[in-house]
Chains A and B, each alone.
Chain A
């Protein structure tokens, strides 16, 4: 393969991974925008989605892509319930306590799953798990490409929802200025659990999408929580379009880094990028931070 082709191949597979990162990061950013809370249990919500999809596949033979239709609403209600029960009481508490609470939730979720399913690595093998298709000389993974399509549809849908629908506009208004939103009659508490539910549904579906191509184990969430942080900070905290750009950038950066630098340090690339952004442009590379 020529160097140019390798580059294009790397870039494309980076973009496909980036799509997943968008799906994961956008939920975190939405939750942060509306509630000013960083959800440290974000990756664990994804793991819940992964195991739900896994269970549906093993017990009911439901294809991971099909199970999205169940996982999305299930995680929506799960996230909304978590918000109502645990997050609401600390909305006015100190930032440290809010963070610690979500850290506690992440421990409960990941170790709860550990107790239920055990520490084993599992995976789902579908007929298309290893399938690839060719664009000329470039090969692309079928499940990754399908995932990318799903993320485009979902994030596009989210974007339209936020821009066009009344509820979406209310969510954005709450994110912009909570007090002002409440003054004009928006129920900010409702926007809070809606945002948490939507964010959870998005990241839960990312879990379903990962199932055919990744290992499933209880502790996998932490790494993805970190990726979500990186995506949000790259894009500017609370910015939805920023998260989209940040996710794609992270996917591409990792993919290039793995090929041209070292695959062992792949996961460090995003983190270094993150520290670098804090150093030179803490408001994020794209758009403005809503801090």
Chain B
């Protein structure tokens, strides 16, 4: 309920942005911000809610980007249909990955996600007949003619992702994911089907990530392995949720504001350093505020009700 109100107010405020932001860099910034809100929130479904750390979400982003772009270029599918195709493809890949990893105890999922993303990057790099390798793919006829339209599409996707997160959070599914994150064996003893619920969370996460990937491809109009399928991209997605607060509905959105501002700001001054700062941020957050911005604020408000680490 409270989340619903926050979401409604935030959406209304964001819907007004094009009225004052013009069509220039500022609007571009807000589109990137919304893209990051989607990516962080989607990552958080599996990484934050279920506590299954993915360091290879670029895989799903890339599937969405390449899926929609290729559908558009090869079969002249219009943008929205290509997005569904990318989404469906990512569901398939996520199902296989989850089925392999979630039967196992231990840190295998984190490792396997990296492996998956790297395999896909190598495919995109080497399957030149289809992907044009590192030359990348150019979309000449973009989805929309104006940036404002792109902005509202990004807002819609972000809104859908956040709504899904809020719904999941307050449903049985959400409680079960939190239980899994806290203690898999305890959850299992209480009737929680680990494989099933983790798999569902991964599917949802992969789907929204792929949607964002498709959107990115059409908005930028150009994709290559280096912009879609790198480890850095994966880490950035995780970072959004970590900084903002893993396992909270709005944490990743808060993280997106912080990271988008930071990275665009840093890009202006010194390009190469921003991952250095990211690294420092991650280490500082993990050591000193492992619950992220939202979690730490929440703890501050709740006062004494603290859990031991």
Contact = CB atoms under 8 A, between A and B. Distances in A.
A and B touching (Cβ–Cβ under 8 A): yes
B272 to A, nearest CB: 5
A90 B286 contact: yes
A103 B235 contact: yes
Given A92-B309, A105-B283, A268 B276 contact: no
Contacts of B280: 104, 108
A111 B115 contact: no
A98 B136 CA distance: 36
A279 B104 CA distance: 9
B290 A97 contact: yes
A40 B282 CA distance: 13
A275 B246 CA distance: 27
Interface string A73-117: 000000000000010011011111101110111111111101100
B58 interface: no
Interface centre among B111, B276, B281 (most CB of A within 10 A): B111
A291 B115 CA distance: 20
A92 B308 CA distance: 11
B227 interface: no
A96 B292 CA distance: 14
B220 interface: no
Interface residues of B, number: 42
Nearest to A229: B111
A267 interface: yes
A89 to B, nearest CB: 6
B116 A275 contact: yes
Contacts of B119: 268, 271-272, 275
Interface string B274-307: 0110111111001100100000000000000000
B273 interface: yes
A291 B108 CA distance: 11
Contacts of A95: 53, 107
A226 B282 contact: no
Interface in B126-166: 126
A85 to B, nearest CB: 10
Contacts of A271: 115, 118-119
Nearest to A93: B309
B236 to A, nearest CB: 10
Contacts of B123: 268
A99 B107 contact: yes
B114 A94 contact: no
B27 interface: no
Interface in A127-148: none
Judged by DSSP, the binding face of B is: helix
Given A107-B235, A268-B118, A100 B279 contact: no
Interface in A260-290: 262, 264-265, 267-268, 271-272, 274-275, 278-279, 282, 289
A103 B56 CA distance: 12
A2 to B, nearest CB: 29
Nearest to B106: A291
Contacts of B279: 104-109, 111
Given A93-B309, A229-B114, A275 B100 contact: yes
B273 A111 contact: yes
Interface residues of A, number: 47
Contacts of B110: 38, 99
A226 B105 CA distance: 20
Contact of A268 (B105, B111, B122): B122
A248 B47 CA distance: 34
A107 B126 contact: no
B231 interface: yes
B112 interface: yes
Nearest to B308: A92
B275 A111 contact: yes
Contacts of B47: 96
Contact of A107 (B101, B107, B112, B275): B275
B238 interface: yes
A222 interface: yes
A226 B287 CA distance: 25
B39 interface: no
Contacts of A264: 122, 125-126
A119 interface: yes
A282 B104 contact: yes
B53 A96 contact: yes
Contacts of A291: 105-106
Interface of B: 47, 51, 53, 55, 100-101, 104-108, 110-112, 114-116, 118-119, 122-123, 125-126, 231, 235, 238, 242, 246, 272-273, 275-276, 278-283, 286-287, 290, 309
Q: Enumerate the 5 nearest inter-chain pairs by beta-carbon distance, A residue then B residue, closest first.
A: A107-B279, A104-B282, A111-B276, A108-B279, A264-B126
6 contacts: A101-B282, A272-B119, A275-B116, A278-B100, A282-B104, A291-B106
